[in-house]
Chain A
């Protein structure tokens, strides 16, 4: 996927990943980097594990539990993906 992915492309990819698990359509349609997975999208925590696994698969990275700890918003997920891709 190269290292030229823009912020918008990254958000677009995350949006596709979270779609099956969201329970609030309005928040999903307005998804931005400030969107919270739990409070806005109402993703339940079991499905949040699925989101993390899907992010690992999509970007071919490993997210340790210490990194996962912060992954409760689009912004936090973006930061982790960018950090992991840079370390590859």
Chain B
């Protein structure tokens, strides 16, 4: 299973005002707050840790099929600038992030040897529906190519709790994947 998350660092609506102490309290543990305040680029570190939590959460929900909203339950540790571990209950997920001036992108995996195909791209239009449709199309085209399946027979549907699943001619495929978008950027991973 896999989870991914992208944050557009220049996107105006990228989440509230993280400098507000109440925001930090609801999202980060004390240890994570210390990491943020000790870092040179605090804005980037906030969203790096955030994207690690989000990516790990998306994987965790696929695994346990139960949603919740409490980012402090997902505890981040940084092993290096771009690699980390996210712990929740008795589970550990491994994260790898890409940091640029424009975005932070993280992929969460269950182990370090898991192979991943991933892509990040920029879209001009910020409309949610347009972006979401384009992202699904790009992802299905990639699946079509790598798995040798006819594009037009591929379809995405969400489960009752909102986990997307891919179908080929109405049969569910056992491909774990994750889709993300924020501001100008979108990404998929499988």
Contact = CB atoms under 8 A, between A and B. Distances in A.
Interface of A: 21, 23-24, 36, 38-39, 42, 44-50, 52-53, 56, 65-66, 68-72
Interface of B: 7, 13-16, 20, 22-23, 25-27, 50, 54, 67-73, 128, 158, 161-162, 182
B22 A53 contact: yes
B68 A44 contact: no
Given A49-B27, A52-B26, A68 B69 contact: yes
Given A53-B23, A65-B26, A39 B69 contact: no
B23 A49 contact: yes
Contacts of A42: 128
B128 A39 contact: no
A44 B182 contact: yes
A70 B70 CA distance: 8
B128 A53 contact: no
B20 A24 contact: no
Contacts of A69: 68-70, 73
A45 B162 CA distance: 14
Contact of B54 (A45, A47, A50, A71): A45
Nearest to B132: A42
B17 to A, nearest CB: 8
Given A44-B182, A68-B69, 10 more contacts: A38-B67, A45-B15, A47-B13, A47-B15, A49-B26, A52-B26, A65-B26, A69-B69, A69-B73, A72-B68
A50 B72 contact: no
Given A24-B128, A56-B22, A68-B26, A49 B15 contact: yes
Contacts of B20: 53
A50 B119 CA distance: 29
Contact of A46 (B16, B70, B162): B16
Among A24, A46, A69, the most chain B Cβ lie within 10 Å of the Cβ of A46
B162 A53 contact: no
12 contacts: A36-B162, A42-B128, A45-B71, A46-B16, A47-B13, A49-B16, A49-B23, A49-B71, A50-B16, A53-B23, A65-B26, A66-B70
Contacts of B162: 36, 38-39
Among B67, B68, B69, B73, the most chain A Cβ lie within 10 Å of the Cβ of B69
B51 to A, nearest CB: 10
B70 A47 contact: no
Q: Which 5 A-B pairs have the closest CB atoms?
A: A46-B15, A50-B16, A23-B128, A69-B70, A39-B162
